[in-house]
Structure 1
Amino acid sequence: MLTSERKALILEVLRRDGRVIAKAVSQELQLSEDTIRRDLRDLAGEGLLQRVHGGALPASPAMADLAARREVSPEGKVAIGRAAARLVRPGQVVLLDGGTTALQLARHLAHGLEATIVTHSPTVALELANHPGIAVELIGGRLFRHSMVAVGAAAAEAIARIRADLFFLGVTGIHPELGLTTGDAEEAAIKRALSRQAAETIVLASREKLGAASPFQIAPLSEASAMVVEADVPDETVEPYRKAGVTLIRS
């Protein structure tokens, strides 16, 4: 079998089953596991999957640059943002992550709402600048351009002084076993810091992130109080998260 044929088969297994187990593929093709692992390395280098112990999972489209991410599930992100915005109550202190779905949440906060939004995203802060009832606290630090958020020691120190009611978390991957993941170690650390300072962490979970994985874990799935998902995501897709004890909020 040609290399291109093996890789095409691996991607078909990934599409069909939602994961690839290297040992099973090697047995099916009567090839060594080293050969399959080499193919997985190549496909991961092309951004077509995310390698994990024993095989691979789908790579999240949310790993793309900001301009490309704006084109992924735009209607779903609007719906999730609108539903998440309804969870914010008057007088609350809310930590709001960066990213395209968080921006939609900011846009859909009720006009008459009075609350405090703390964010490390300049883009989110600018979106809220003209909201009459929202007090905006902007966390500073080194700008991580991929997500347009502040990271680093200065951001971590500022976050440690905050006590919030809610944290709306953006991720690039959500998996029942691997948990909540993103593509950068420093950004993952900042997200963990934000989650620690909130009574509840709510994940903004657009469909392309479900079942996908990225290189750096933010937290296990058990750290999430709830996930906001699109209304038409099939029940079988979200059932593993429900079984894990995460409250599902349909947008």
Structure 2
Amino acid sequence: MDDAIRLAKRVARQFACSRTMAEQYIEGGWVSVDGQVIELPGARVAPQQAVALAQDANPMELTPVTLVLNKPAGYEAGLGLEAGHTSHTSRSQGAPQALDLLSAATHLADDPAGQRVLLRHFRALECFTPLPTEASGLVVYTQDRRVARKLREDIEVLEQECIVEVAGQIQEDGLQRLCHGLTFNDRPLPPIKVSWQNETHLRFALKGIRPGQIPSMCEAVGLSVVDIRRIRIGRVPLARLPEGQWRYLQPWERF
């Protein structure tokens, strides 16, 4: 394939468009080579290979996306830019990145967003909703600067809801103290909404949560934490998203 050229160059030449538009066509999933969709503008194609452009191809600038993941326990979801599978504030001991779970294969089959999955949707993702490696549940990754700014600036004031599995015997006034009266890192905690979901699970709704805070609170009233699962951030719920799968945040959803 010594005479092979970049796909973007071939598309620009074959369909009489600019190189920028050709790259938008390709990254938008509108271009196929020998019947197979190729999303990499730098892919090499030989003269004898058939390059086709979808009839409904749209060269408009591609919109950044936000992905909602149900992270299983054992994966790290850190803070800041995670593109290239690197977290700025990694505190785990070799735990795999939750980012590794984001692929076409783990996309929710009946995602109501109706969005086509593209390779570019997994690039330059930021995560401002950290979750401890041992915890599971809702994590958000975004390319959208507006969503990133919202989460970066407001994560401390957005209410987060967690279901916490506990073991042990709670103290007589334990539930009341969980709601108000405990300290963490030598500082009094503000009022928190805590209630029993069933005999072994507590529901926490709190703001400005700190790593280790919930286990410390439970220990103070005679309980030990078995599992933590985050089910809501602001107004965005985990809902029925299966563990290990993700969906697109819809345009009308707001944190």
TM-score calculated relative to the size of structure 2: 0.27
More helix, by proportion:
1
Task: Tell me which of the two structures has the higher relative contact order, counting C-alpha pairs closer than 8 angstroms and 6 or more residues apart.
Answer: 2
TM-score calculated relative to the size of structure 1: 0.27
> If you compute each CA radius of gyration, which structure gives the higher value, 1 or 2?
2
